[in-house]
Amino acid sequence: MEVNPEFVIYDILDAVFVPHSEIQIKPEWAFNIAYTEKEEEKHTVIEVQTWKGPFSVDPVSVLGLVFIGLHKEAERVSGKKLSNVFVKTTKCLNRIHEDAIRKAVKISRLECAGIEAMHVLKVD
């Protein structure tokens, strides 16, 4: 199997939670961050190379795909049919972030049982 890192989107939460102007581009990213300027708001998009050529995608949609993959793995491991998801993150959340997570969960056709920010524990 050939590995194609240009098809991989890293650090999706940065693209979802951080304003476009504050996103720190990392050297390992083989994709671009851009924004569309609609009359009502600017919207961050990820420009990624696919087998069919360049493609722009909404970061929340990508997060929805991540939830789909995590859901399938959770069902496989548990051996149970699951329909709810409880999202925990180490990032501080505000209402906009929670709405983005809820939208991504909806895209994945799951029910959001809750969202919680966890404290980060430092281990020396």
**Over the stretch 71-87, which tens digit does the pLDDT of each residue have?**
999 999 999 999 898 98
C-alpha dist (Å) from residue 64 to 13, 15, 36, 59, 90:
11, 13, 20, 9, 18
- Verdict on whether the full-model pTM lies above 0.85: no
The reply to whether 16 falls in a domain is yes
Within this chain, do residues 25 and 73 fall inside the same structural domain, yes or no? Answer: no
State the total domains in the chain.
2
At 29 the pLDDT is: 76
The reply to whether 123 falls in a domain is no
At 81 the pLDDT is: 93
SS3 54: strand
Within this chain, do residues 54 and 66 fall inside the same structural domain, yes or no? Answer: no
Range of the domain at 21: 5-59
What parts of the chain have a pLDDT lower than 70?
A: 1-8, 10, 38-42, 124
At 11 the pLDDT is: 75
At 79 the pLDDT is: 95
Q: Which residue has the tokens 């939460």?
A: 13
